[in-house]
């Protein structure tokens, strides 16, 4: 039997080092390590920031819900945020009406998840509510 890399004794020769610490370290490895470290730091900061603001978003949402003028201002802010998101998508090459539709849908998911989070029990996870909202939006779009 003659296979490339095989010797007469039946051993296989390879260019892969016997130990992982002997593998060459490339720029890609540094990018992965720095990326993971950055995400780890940001995740820790998120917990710290959310912990420090405490109940303020819930109180703010209750005040807005009780005042029609503030509700109107909040909707104007969301419309402007959707317009900025659509413009950013257009800048990345997404054509209209897809850019506007995606931005408006994203803002709708954000608004509903935030309202549910702010009015619900204290232990809710906003990320989970956002993910659930996106899942529901996908299900509606597919039906």
pLDDT band at 1 (very low <50, low <70, confident <90, very high): very low
In sequence order, what are the residues at sequence separation of 6 or more whose Cβ sits closer than 8 angstroms to the Cβ of residue 41?
Answer: none
Structure tokens at 102: 């995606």
Say what the pTM is: 0.57
- Residues 40-51: pLDDT tens digits? 877 777 666 666
Q: How far apart are CA 7 and CA 28, in angstroms?
A: 34
Burial class (CB in 10 A: 0-12, 13-18, 19+), 44: exposed
- Residues 89-143: pLDDT tens digits? 998 888 888 899 989 999 899 888 888 888 877 777 888 888 898 899 888 888 7
Which whole number is the average pLDDT over 30-56?
A: 74
């Amino acid at each position: 039997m003659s296979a490339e890399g095989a010797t007469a004794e039946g051993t296989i020769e390879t260019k892969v080092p016997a130990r992982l610490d002997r593998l060459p370290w490339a720029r890609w490895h540094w990018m992965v390590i720095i990326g993971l470290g950055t995400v780890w730091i940001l995740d820790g900061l998120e917990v710290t920031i959310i912990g420090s603001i405490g109940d303020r978003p819930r109180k703010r949402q209750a005040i807005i819900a009780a005042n029609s003028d503030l509700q109107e201002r909040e909707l104007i802010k969301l419309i402007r945020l959707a317009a900025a998101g659509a413009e950013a998508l257009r800048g990345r090459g997404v054509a209209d009406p897809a850019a506007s539709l995606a931005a408006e849908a994203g803002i709708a998911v954000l608004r509903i998840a935030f309202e549910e989070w702010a009015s619900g029990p204290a232990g809710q996870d906003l990320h989970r509510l956002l993910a659930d909202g996106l899942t529901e939006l996908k299900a509606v779009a597919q039906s």
